[in-house]
Amino acid sequence: MQKIIIDTDCGGDDAVAIAMALKDPNVKVLMLSTVVGNVPMQQATINTLTTLGYAKSYNPPVYKGCKRPLLREPLYAYETHGEDGMGDIGLVPQDGACASEGHGAVKILETLLAHQPKEIDIVCLGPLTNIAVAIALSLETMSRAKSIIIMGSAGFGAGNVTPVAEFNIWHDAEAAKAVLASGLPITFVGWDACLGDAIFTEAEISRLKEAGHLGDFMVSCNKSLISFNMKRFGREVLDFADPVAMAVALWPEVITQIGGYWCEVDTTLGPGYGSLVIDRNNEFGKPNAKVCTEVDANLYKEKIFNLVK
């Protein structure tokens, strides 16, 4: 059974990704840590606990992590995910669920130490602040992770928060730079891999909503994103960024384009801030990360539909 840790700034698409992992019988989610990003960390924690309740699977511990980026003030994605990050439809944790005691970054280290080396994958669905802090506390312990899969970067396409930057990397570029510099086995899932055929169409959204309780939740908590996409794409569709990253982590067979490249995070105070520079020809050095830029959209979607039946 695959064992994973999930680090999340839980908005609507994070909720879908978390539910995917919880419903996969071949996966064990050991813990979740929350981080500032789409919404404040406290709201991300509420959203994560809410998702556990709606998934109706099991309840791994949820730990609160960093409240702000390493150096910058937080800038939230309210316009994309709503004021509460979950479509502003009043979703709340069920049965009085609450976070467990301890800081998320520390608990990541403790969980890695409690298991065999190279036994746990860390799936990062938000900014990398918690991961950078954990590395600063103990790179040796973090090196016990089998891999770190990150929803981050624009891949080889355009950004979604600036012309060149994707939100998760841009929100705390200094943290992303530190994570990349650590030498850990990193895979970025680019924003470009989440577009095109990977976008859920109106018909596929209806199919998901009609699949049952969990599918309805997955659509409803992304109400704000659907409305935002009407302005952005001219259609009420869902670009499920974090679910694509989770699919890459859980189901490598969905990957159709991935490569090892020399990468660098731009932290200069200019128009490139927060972008991941990817050297396709590795002229600047040896590959230090993998970048996934395309998935088999049909296979990825069918796997989600099968989980929510």
Which residues are annotated as catalytic?
9
Contacts of residue 238, Cβ cutoff 8 Å, sequence gap at least 6? 13, 199, 200, 205, 219, 222, 225, 226, 229
Please state, in angstroms and rounded to a whole number, the distance separating the CA atoms of residues 238 and 235: 9
Using alpha carbons, list the distances in angstroms from residue 295 to 72, 119, 182, 191, 265: 33, 25, 27, 11, 23
> Rg of the Cα trace of the chain?
18
User: What are phi and psi for residue 167, nearest 5 degrees?
Assistant: -55, -50
Element (H, E) at 122: strand 120-124
* SS3 state at 223: helix
Nearest alpha carbon to residue 296 among 261, 260, 249, 244: 244
Strands (E), 166-297: 186-189, 255-265, 276-279, 289-295
